[in-house]
Amino acid sequence: MPLSWRLGAFYFAFFVYAGLVVAYFPPYLAARGLGAGEIALVVALPQLVRVFAPAAWGWIADRTGALRAIVVLSCAANAACFALLPQAGSLAGIVWLIGVANLLSAAALPLVEAITLGALAAQPGRYGPIRLWGSVGFIAAVLGGGAWLDFHAVQTLPAALVAFSLVSLAVALALPASHAHASAGGGGLAITPRAAALLAAGFCMALGHGTLYVFLTLHLQRTGYSGTLIGFLWTLGVLAEILVFLFLPALFRRAALSTLLMASCALGVGRFLAIGWAADWLALLVVAQLLHAATFGAFHAASVAAVHRVFPPHAHARGQTLFSSLGYGAGGAAGALAAGWAWELAGPAAAFTLSAAAAGAGLLFAYSLKRAGL
């Protein structure tokens, strides 16, 4: 099977699992009796762990070249965690399980990103047609999951997460052993001004998405939308993301990476304000979800390509995992915790307004990248 097919299959399987977690894990926790602050804490745990765990795994990967083995371990840890989750009878038990599993699994996606970008060499635009299969998997999860939960209890979620974690594990075993050159000394990892600005922009945009990923489903449920419609709205955003990935080669030819980052952040400000203040207007909500093409799709693709450009070849795995640690880890955790605090203090509109402010800060860092010639 061609490598591009194997990579696409992994993205698909992994993002079915990820889509179920993002869209339906908060309602599962609510059904277990957790409050908004407790839900935010549990959902923030993976991001908190990702502040340091991916960078540590990236160092090991660059030193040993064992990227595939680490990805396999990651998928196995996810399966074990969610198999045990129904037996966790307290908040402490849930926190322990989620924390340990994410400590072991935090590096899966950034290491596969490093494998993919390494395989594509000087053609980063080809990343989109491979990565879009992750978006297809996410769609399958949120659309199918929404319809399923209209007729079944949310307590069935852990079994589905175990199943798709095991599928990810099986596909991970078919990935190439390594596309990285092992380095006995690891090599230095200099953080240049361009790298620092890129990491800061990633942090801000991940922080901005915190409210979306923790509370969008609950926000729409309380607004009165059905599970099927909520699943459709999640799906709509990812369909728009797929279109961006399909046209990524053309986008990369026509626009600088910094321009794509700036546009994504600017559109993020409008998107988060619309969801927070006008979710009852379905037409506006549809437009806001279509903007996921920019706020996640274009931003993520431009970011992973930029990481490959601003970090040296011997440190690509560490560069991707560092971006994951500071962006999706620290930024995601800060966003989830801030969302829980703002939600309890002042409601959904305040939480999404904080998200818009974070996206605005990301725009400033992206502009500095443009001035630096990225």
* pLDDT per position as a tens digit, 208-228: 998 998 889 889 988 999 878
The percentage of the chain sitting over the pLDDT mark of 90, rounded to a whole number, equals 29
Structure tokens at 161: 């997460």
Residues recorded for the chain? 374
Q: In this predicted structure, what is the pLDDT of residue 122?
A: 58
Task: Please give the average per-residue pLDDT across 344-359, as a whole number.
Answer: 93
For helices 193-208 and 332-346, give the axis angle rounded to 10 degrees.
40
Q: In this predicted structure, what is the pLDDT of residue 291?
A: 95
More confident: 97 or 51: 97
Q: Name the residue among 133, 98, 108, 171 with its Cα closest to residue 15.
A: 133
DSSP state of 51: T
* pLDDT per position as a tens digit, 59-79: 787 777 778 888 898 899 899
* pLDDT per position as a tens digit, 93-139: 999 999 888 888 877 888 887 777 777 765 655 777 788 888 888 88
* pLDDT per position as a tens digit, 252-263: 888 999 999 999
Q: In this predicted structure, what is the pLDDT of residue 82?
A: 92
* pLDDT per position as a tens digit, 271-299: 999 999 999 999 999 999 999 999 998 99
Q: In this predicted structure, what is the pLDDT of residue 127?
A: 74
Cα–Cα dist 371/362, whole Å: 15
- Detail the DSSP E strand segments found in the chain: none
Q: Is the pLDDT of residue 182 over 70?
A: no
Q: Is the pLDDT of residue 179 over 60?
A: no
**Average per-residue pLDDT in the chain?**
85
Q: Is the pLDDT of residue 185 over 50?
A: no
Q: In this predicted structure, what is the pLDDT of residue 265?
A: 97
Evaluate the CA torsion angle 257, 258, 262, 265 in order and state its sign: positive
Q: Name the residue among 269, 297, 287, 278 with its Cα closest to residue 208.
A: 269
Tell me if 212 sits within 8 A of 23, measured CB to CB. no
More confident: 349 or 113: 349
Cα–Cα dist 74/291, whole Å: 31
Longest dimension (CA), the chain: 57
Q: Is the pLDDT of residue 188 over 80?
A: no
The CB-side HSE value for 255 (13 A sphere, CA atoms) comes to 18
What is the identity of the amino acid at 69? A
Of these ranges, 123-137, 223-237, 359-373, the one predicted with the greatest mean pLDDT is 359-373
Phi, psi of 177 (to 5 degrees): -60, -40
DSSP per-residue letters across 236-300:
HHHHHHHHHHHTHHHHHHHS-HHHHHHHHHHHHHHHHHHHHHHTT-HHHHHHHHHTHIIIIIIHH
The CB-side HSE value for 133 (13 A sphere, CA atoms) comes to 15
Helix, strand or coil, per DSSP, at residue 126: helix
